[in-house]
Structure 1
């Protein structure tokens, strides 16, 4: 999966239009369209904006990692121990939701 495909997938999972995401990222809609169609590559600043908005790593966006995010403190200690895969998946989903909520709150505070 290419960078543009990952961006589009994340956007669609959240139910956003290209125009809405472009506004949230403060980039032109046409640029986002070109990224998603893999016609152009975002610059570093824009790549970081996308990663921050979705609380994923740039490595995930670039296809260098299958893990959307990685908590350095957990990774340093070989990660947490889970009872089973269901528990691991549940915890990771909850963490993703928390990070998105935290980012949205931060974005709202910056607008005020």
Structure 2
């Protein structure tokens, strides 16, 4: 069983919830939740953030110390790269064909984009996804 699966099960039990109750609170199907807890699959980044928020724990804790707080790292990096390139949120949103509100939520650390959008952002800024997520400290342009 993965560290994530163990942490998830422990948090659920500590909070006195059944799998069905927690699945309902997360607005997912019980079998999807069960697969996570049994180590058959893992949720996407956005769902990881929702779970961490629900239990009021860090993503690092949820993933067993193997992951930085992705949302915070991502939002700080996004703002830093935008400011360095002297772009407005509106300019970026228009070029990526998303709402400025959506971009603002990413930069504000409120939500994270899905994997496909994360790749689009990396392509737009000509950096690696690892850089955007704070896993690489230097802004290395993709080849």
TM-score range relative to shorter protein: 0.5 to 0.7
**Compared CA separation, residues 71 and 12, structure 1 to 2 (3 A):** closer
Q: Which has the higher helix share?
A: 1
Query: Who is 1:7 aligned against?
Result: 78
- The alpha carbon displacement at 1:66 in A equals 1.4
Aligned length: 72
Please state how far the C-alpha of 1:70 moved relative to its aligned partner. 5.9
Q: What does 1:56-95 correspond to in 2, within 5 Å?
A: 56-69=127-140
Unaligned runs of 5+ in 2: 1-71
Which stretches of structure 1, 4 residues or longer, exceed 6 Å deviation after superposition? none
More relative contact order in 1 or in 2 (CA 8 Å, sep 6+)?
Answer: 1
Q: Could you list the runs of 5+ residues in structure 1 that have no partner in the other structure?
A: 73-112
Matches of 1:40 and 1:15 in 2, distance apart?
Answer: 23
TM-score scaled to structure 1, two decimals?
0.58
Does 1:31 find its partner at 2:105?
Answer: no
CA RMSD of aligned residues (A): 1.7
Residue 58 of structure 1: CA displacement? Answer: 0.2
The one-character-per-residue Cα deviations of 1:44-78 (angstroms, maximum 9, x if unpaired) are 12111111011100001111111322667xxxxxx
- TM-score, normalised on structure 2? 0.46
